[in-house]
Chains A and B, each alone.
Chain A
Amino acid sequence: MEILKVNDLKKTYTSRLGGAQVQALKGVTFTVEAGEYVAIMGESGSGKTTLLNILAALDQPTGGCVELEGKRLDAVKENELAAFRRENLGFVFQEFNLLDTFTLKDNILLPLVLGGKSVSEMQTRLMQTAGPLGIAEILNKYPYEVSGGQKQRAAAARALITNPKLILADEPTGALDSRSSAELLRVFSQMNRNGQTILMVTHSADAASHAGRVLFIRDGVVFHQLYRGDSTNEELYKKIADTLTMLRTGR
């Protein structure tokens, strides 16, 4: 079943001075099946972030449309957007975006609190989510008291706790050391095996090699895509590296 459908997505920015037009997305089309783990790769300026912002309903496209489980994002009313995001999407950011005034526990619970869930339900869901991520022991700590890897796992728990249809991850390993990165990617694979659909934007070939499918974006269009098929992570990594070389040399 298609969970996400992106159809001929275009985004044109007008620079504030001079009015020069910049086309960030020139017609991106792809779909994501339920339970898929998709990585999107591209250089800086390729349009990855713009794409992600539109998928997250934080930004509006100038052309084309996005459908989440058949519902067009531009049909969601302005004042329902926040709730829509909260209920359907989970976010993992490069900079964690944990609130320094909250404990990890409160950070994880925040989407449920905003959704008006009962305290007992919060408790059950918290245990279900935090346990597998290995952060049950440090829930009462504050973000500045734990490591980057732990912060990112807490952020992942916050994204998971609402049982979202789709998790959008923006360079989740970008601020982590290699060991924490590996750990987080294992967590992501684990989440995916449990049926969670994940869309991850990255420019780390290593991170992308954990995904089931890799999309390459260049100059605002989907330039190429790789399927894992039966390959191992290492084999996929090699294919990604080759593609990147090809992208760079232009042949």
Chain B
Amino acid sequence: MKKGLYTRIALENVKKNGRLYWPRILAEAGLLGCFYILITLAMDGRLSEALGGAYLPTFMWMGAAVLGLLSLILLLYVNSFLMKRRRSEYGLYNVLGMEKRHIAKVLFAESLIASLASVALGLCFGVLFYKLSSLLICRLLRSEIVAGFYYLNAVTLLIPAAAFLALDLFTYFVNRIAILRMKPVELLSAKKAGEREPKTRWPLLVLGVLSLGAGYGIALTVKSPLQAIFLFFAAVILVIVGTYCVFVTGTTFVLQSLKKRKQYYYHKKHMPAVAGLLFRMKQNAVGLASIAILATGVLVMISTTVSLYSGVQDTMETNYPRQLYLSAYRQEGEEITHIPSGKLEELVREAAAENGVAVREVESERLLTVSYLLRGGRLLTKTEAEGGYDTSELCSVMFITEDTYAELQSKRVTAEDPALSRAPEGLGLDKDEIAFCRVASAAMDLGFMPERLTFHGNTYRVKENLTYFPIGSNMSTVVNVLGIVVADDDVLNDVYLAQKEAYGEFASEFSDRIGVSFADEEAVSAVGEQVSQAIVNKLQAVGTGTLQYDLDTKWESLHNVLEMYGTFLFLGILLGFVCLFSTILIIYYKQISEGYEDRERFQIMEKVGMDAREVRKTIGSQLVLQFFLPLATAAVHTAVAFPILLKLLKILMLTNTSLFIICTLVTLAVFALVYTAVYVLTAKTYYKIVH
């Protein structure tokens, strides 16, 4: 045979089967484009330099890995549809006298054409949309826009191209093996292979229900954010397994029971639909389950990242009542010298003045923060705990003296509402008395108000239950945080020494910390970097020994958080978009392949005396069910995932529940809208094929 023949046949085939090939080519191009964008964002040095962030490349690489995996699954899935349709054609070639190796050549040429088209198109997409993506990233990170974003680099072009060509080659070999193995008669008639009526597979159904139940159980009962981190992944896996099993077997089970109810089944509205679905489900349960899971992915990704991002300001306000926190000490050998808060205050005021911003207020606090396990009325060090512990027992305890408390409290009253200004009544604590405050009970339902509390072998009477503790904590969203006011420095020192003994080198140190509020927050943010630098410079000049300091400013933190959440959001949008895209693709191929299969069936029904309207109705009811099932499942999954997602978001410092609810609902609504639109369009193609 002539050499050009295979290529000609292949080209003709791809053109003729455009309805099948185009979506595949476009899908691969789209995936490759996104892949290119992620990789280029990760490798574009100018960008990470401009954003000054370390998160960006890491997250982009992670995103690229996830996307690569998704592409592999999706393209193999699409390929299986394609091959099912094409098989009889290859069989015909065989019958007409082509040997299998010739068919393999045609197949190779077809794969190559489709593959090259996808890669070329995908790279074009990628390069074109890269600029848009980098602009979006800059905007999300509230960063200066880097000029000249057309970034072309051989490496970032080659990696995606090579990855997807390899993927296509793999697909080709899968197909080649399948075709070489088949006999010509099988190739010709593979489409019509007799289908057995599906039976309910009980073990699988039980497994599915158990797995789904376990996943839901975890999501609903998880107590602390730390637990949520550990268990989230397990819950996701369980729910995915459960969804697949229940879709595959549960639908059959329901339809079988419907079929057994004779009065219901033998009705013109029900019989064709139920019997059709029963067979349909066998082939498509996996597809529907995939749609449900992808849809859940879209909902979860977009709603969490959007609410994180839009909650940034909120989060910052909760965690930074003041704009700057500073503590520092000098270390010479074993000797630690705290730089007194008065000195720190002086430095900050000087630095502020140099940069033309005014300090409104400074507070100082001597604080000891120790972590314990709260069990009954006892605070145990981790070394005292027998038989391990549950993360929900973890709590971080802040100790201050009554003097510090009184000082902070008086400032609060004057600062917040001068009209309420009055000298706070002293707590009047004895040495064996404390005041106790639940600053945050992230995990534990702290229904109790302890009368006594024991730590380090001493029992203290709880004289006062405080509703407000004057010091905030950035741990408050992750673990339980308690505040304890002790009588005086002696008691505080005892606690310090006791925990030092228990924890050794992991023990906590006192912090003499000052919190500074500036008069004009925006002004100070603008010169934030200079202010920080000036403070550090001044600190270097104070005292001798190694300088250790902790300078925590709202503006730097905001920058970091923005970079992280902005990157999350970008990934969420991109991957959410890819999932949506995949969902659309799966629906499309499902409709098409079902359309071809159903055509014959409906033609028979029309011959037997079903009119076209009834056929349309039957088709409609089958479609609607297949349409709503995955969407409803996705909505339920998302609703159940809600509590565990809230806990995870707490770790990322988002505590605004209503914001998250709104984001989720909006995402769901938008998704349902897009999904419906896609469905209507593909249903049209389906009707066209059937008629």
Contact = CB atoms under 8 A, between A and B. Distances in A.
Given A99-B604, A102-B275, A142-B197, A82 B610 contact: yes
B279 A111 contact: no
Contact of A79 (B194, B278, B605, B613): B613
B452 interface: no
A86 B607 CA distance: 9
Interface stretch (A6-14, A113-121, A183-191): A113-121
A144 B194 contact: yes
Given A81-B611, A83-B609, A101 B266 contact: no
Contacts of A171: none
Contacts of A144: 194-195
A85 B609 contact: yes
Size bin of chain A's contact surface: 20 to 34
B420 interface: no
Interface in B588-619: 601, 604-614
Nearest to A158: B608
Majority SS at the chain B contact face: helix
A97 interface: yes
Contact of A110 (B271, B276, B612): B271
Given A79-B613, A82-B614, A109 B608 contact: no
Nearest to B602: A99
Contact of B607 (A91, A102, A106): A91
A97 B604 contact: yes
Contact of B275 (A83, A93, A106, A119): A106
A85 B607 CA distance: 9
Given A101-B279, A113-B266, A79 B608 contact: no
Chain B: number of interface residues, binned into ranges:
20 to 34
Contact of B610 (A79, A98, A106, A114): A114
Interface in B601-644: 601, 604-614
Nearest to B259: A106
B263 interface: yes
Contacts of A97: 604, 607-608
Interface in B267-284: 267-268, 271, 275-276, 278-279
Interface string A110-146: 1101111001001000000000000000000010100
A98 B605 CA distance: 9
Contact of A86 (B263, B275, B609, B612): B609
A116 B609 contact: no
B602 to A, nearest CB: 10
A137 B607 CA distance: 26
Contacts of B268: 113-116
A114 B114 CA distance: 46
A100 interface: yes
- Which of B196, B278, B611, B614 has the most CB atoms of chain A within a 10 A radius of its CB? B611
B612 A101 contact: no
Contact of A99 (B266, B601, B614): B601
B262 interface: yes
Contact of B266 (A98, A109, A158): A109
Contacts of A86: 608-609
B377 to A, nearest CB: 68
A99 B605 contact: yes
B123 to A, nearest CB: 42
Contacts of B610: 82, 114
Contacts of A111: 608-609
A85 B614 CA distance: 14
B608 A114 contact: yes
A119 B607 contact: no
A100 B266 contact: no
Nearest to A155: B608
B192 to A, nearest CB: 9
A97 to B, nearest CB: 5
14 contacts: A58-B607, A79-B611, A79-B613, A81-B611, A82-B612, A86-B608, A91-B607, A99-B601, A99-B604, A101-B276, A102-B271, A113-B268, A114-B609, A142-B196
Interface of B: 194-197, 262-263, 266-268, 271, 275-276, 278-279, 601, 604-614
Q: Which 9 A-B pairs have the closest CB atoms?
A: A86-B609, A82-B611, A144-B194, A101-B275, A97-B604, A101-B279, A114-B268, A85-B609, A113-B271
